[in-house]
């Protein structure tokens, strides 16, 4: 236990904001998953994802404002300054790929879109669980368990991307190849950002073990 934990109470506002951010990410990924299953319909739901992204930006702003004003924080300031933008990046990327998917006019869904969006939804759910575990700081091992699952899902997504690109180039529709390759790579970026969050959470859990 750190000395400052014995002297001053922890400021819980950071955990409240991180949990709120994680909820927005999970909601956005669930909406994106719905869109991939409903193509060519469901594209109007992209506006919901954009609204969630704006909310996340506001939460990030509040976190840094609070960080500037706080004398005592439950995590090290550097840890908060790393985790907040990492979480925000996940929602930024979900928003980006959602609008790619909707703006490219994909005529119908496919198994890759549905499987990839499901992996994203699973990864963001693990992020939400990890942030919830982190908010107690009593069981860092629980955080590590969710971080390992995020890493496993990320590895699955890289394998899926490789298979998807190979299959894509077996088709003859050049324009659709370009569009789907761009979307698949956009989804890969989401998973990369989820993995970045996992690394940040893992390092925090290790430091507070």
Instruction: Considering only residues 71 and 58, tell me which one the structure prediction assigns the higher pLDDT.
Output: 58
Q: Per residue in 105-125, pLDDT tens? A: 999 999 999 999 999 999 999
pTM of the predicted protein model: 0.92
Separation CA 72–CA 74 (nearest Å): 7
- Angle of CA points 137, 148, 195, to nearest 5°: 95
Confidence at residue 4, expressed as pLDDT on a 0 to 100 scale? 38
Cβ burial 118-140 (10 Å sphere, 16+ → b, else e): ebbbbbbbbbbbbbbbbbebeeb
Task: Calculate mean pLDDT across residues 23-45.
Answer: 95
Q: Contact, 110 vs 64, CB < 8 A?
A: no
Confidence at residue 10, expressed as pLDDT on a 0 to 100 scale? 52
Structural domains of the chain sorted by starting position, each given as residue range(s) with its CATH number in brackets: 8-207 (1.20.58.220)
State both tokens at 158. Answer: 């890289």
């Amino acid at each position: 236990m750190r000395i400052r934990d014995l002297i001053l109470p922890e400021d819980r506002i950071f955990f409240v904001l991180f949990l709120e951010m994680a909820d927005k990410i999970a909601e956005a990924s669930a909406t994106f998953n719905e869109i991939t299953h409903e193509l060519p319909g469901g594209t109007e739901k992209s506006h919901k994802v954009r609204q969630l992204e704006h909310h996340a930006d506001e939460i990030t702003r509040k976190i840094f404002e609070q960080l500037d004003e706080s004398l005592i924080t439950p995590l090290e300031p550097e840890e908060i300054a790393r985790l907040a933008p990492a979480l925000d990046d996940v929602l930024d990327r979900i928003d980006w790929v959602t609008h790619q998917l909707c703006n490219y006019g994909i005529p119908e869904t496919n198994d890759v879109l549905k499987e990839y969006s499901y992996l994203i939804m699973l990864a963001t759910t693990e992020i939400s669980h990890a942030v919830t575990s982190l908010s107690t700081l009593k069981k860092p091992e629980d955080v590590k368990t969710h971080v390992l699952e995020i890493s496993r899902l990320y590895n699955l997504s890289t394998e899926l991307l490789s298979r998807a690109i190979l299959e894509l180039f077996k088709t003859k529709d050049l324009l659709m190849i370009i569009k789907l390759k761009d979307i698949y790579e956009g989804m890969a970026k989401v998973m990369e950002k989820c993995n970045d969050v996992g690394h940040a959470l893992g390092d925090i859990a290790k430091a507070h073990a």
